[in-house]
Amino acid sequence: MNKVFLISISLLLVMADDFSYNQKMYWFEHQLVDHYDKLNKNVFHQRYWVVEENFVPETGVVLFQICGEYTCINDIKLRLFIIQLAKEFNALIIILEHRYYGKSMPLGKESLKDENLRYLSTRQALDDLAYFQRFMVLNKKHGIKSQNPWIAIGGSYPGALAAWYRYQYPHLVIGALASSAVVESITDFKMFDTQIFLSAYKSGPQCAKDVQDMNKYAEQQILNQGTKEEFKRSFGAEKLTDLEFLFFFADAQLLIIQYGGRSELCKQLKDKSITEQIDYFRSVIEEGSYMEYGSYYLKNDKYDENNLTPSRQWMYQCCSELGWWQTSPLNNSVRSTLIDIQFYKDFCNSIFGGIRKNIFPDDQLANARFGGNELNVDNLIMTNGNEDPWKWSSVLVNQGSILTYEINCENSGHCVELYTPKDEDCDQLKQARKDIISQFRKWIQDHYASIQ
Q: Do residues 210 and 274 lie in contact, with contact meaning Cβ atoms separated by under 8 Å?
A: no
**Catalytic residue selected from 179, 414, 425, 447:** 414
Residue 440's identity, in one-letter code, is: F
Look at strands 43-51 and 92-96 and give their pairing: antiparallel
**Cα–Cα distance measured from residue 251 to residue 348, given in angstroms and rounded to the nearest whole number:** 17
* Tally of CA atoms within 13 A in the half-sphere of 237 that contains its CB: 29
Report the candidate in 76, 72, 245 with the shortest Cα–Cα distance to residue 153. Answer: 76
Residue 65's identity, in one-letter code, is: Q
Burial class (CB in 10 A: 0-12, 13-18, 19+), 443: buried
Q: Look up residue 67 and give its DSSP letter.
A: P
Element (DSSP H or E) covering residue 346:
helix 341-352
151-187: buried (b, 16+ CB within 10 Å) or exposed (e) per residue? bbbbbbbbbbbbbbbbbbbeebbbbbbbbbbbbbbbb
Q: Do residues 136 and 173 lie in contact, with contact meaning Cβ atoms separated by under 8 Å?
A: no
Cα-based distances in Å from 288 to 278, 293, 418: 17, 10, 27
**Cα–Cα distance measured from residue 186 to residue 184, given in angstroms and rounded to the nearest whole number:** 6
* Tally of CA atoms within 13 A in the half-sphere of 296 that contains its CB: 11
**Catalytic residue selected from 251, 388, 425, 447:** 388
**Cα–Cα distance measured from residue 122 to residue 324, given in angstroms and rounded to the nearest whole number:** 15
**Does the annotation mark 320 as catalytic?**
no
Backbone angles phi, psi at 163, to 5 degrees: -65, -45
**Cα–Cα distance measured from residue 255 to residue 370, given in angstroms and rounded to the nearest whole number:** 27
Q: How many Å from the N-terminal Cα to the C-terminal Cα in the chain?
A: 34
Residues ≥6 apart with Cβ < 8 Å to 204: 266
**Catalytic residue selected from 111, 156, 180, 320:** 156
**Cα–Cα distance measured from residue 80 to residue 92, given in angstroms and rounded to the nearest whole number:** 14
**Does the annotation mark 156 as catalytic?**
yes
As annotated, the active-site residues are 156, 388, 414
